Amino acid sequence: MAKHNEKGKLGETYAIEHLLKNGYTILHTNWRHKHLEIDIIAQFNTTLVVVEVKLRSSDSFGAPEDFVSIKKQKNTIKATNAFIEEHNIHLETRFDIISIIQNNNQFSLEHFVDAYYPTLK
């Protein structure tokens, strides 16, 4: 596995731990629809939560959450619509970003609730 993929998996593992500690139920990880992927699909109370995880080794070139582009948001929304249809989901849905900076073995995590909305054109 490429080093950046290993780092991505590490970030997702750390994000999942964070979500579980805060009362979320993990429904799927790395869910795929065609060429699109959702990092984490969780449920929190009566809300379906779609989470994009971004891990960087520093914020020298910008915060990790700044790298969730409009195109990535649109693709995540498309994949989420497919997931909802495929699983017959009837929950409110929100899109979160978990931003992680890893400095050696130290992690700094920030969870952005309702980071973006599915009304993007």
Query: What are the tens digits of pLDDT across the range 28-77?
Result: 999 999 999 999 999 999 999 999 999 887 766 777 888 899 999 999 99
Number of domains composing the chain: 1
The verdict on residue 15 lying in a domain is yes
Q: pLDDT value at position 6? A: 62
- Tell me the pLDDT band of 9, cut-offs 50, 70 and 90: confident
Residue 28 lies in a domain: yes
**Interval 18-25 mean pLDDT:** 98
Is residue 57 included in any domain, yes or no? no
98: in domain: yes
What pLDDT score was predicted for residue 5? 53
Domain of 79, in residue numbers:
3-52+67-116
> Would you say how long the chain is, in residues?
121
> How many CB atoms are closer than 10 A to CB 117?
10
97 belongs to a structural domain: yes
Average pLDDT over residues 17-30: 98
Q: Is residue 111 part of a domain?
A: yes
- Three-state SS annotation for the chain: CCHHHHHHHHHHHHHHHHHHHCCCEEEEEEEEECCEEEEEEEEECCEEEEEEEEEECCCCCCCHHHHCCHHHHHHHHHHHHHHHHHHCCCCEEEEEEEEEEEECCEEEEEEEEEEECCCCC
Residue 121 covered by a domain: no
pLDDT tens digit string along 72-100?
999 999 999 999 999 999 999 999 999 99
pLDDT at 62: 73
Which CATH number characterizes residue 44's domain? 3.40.1350.10
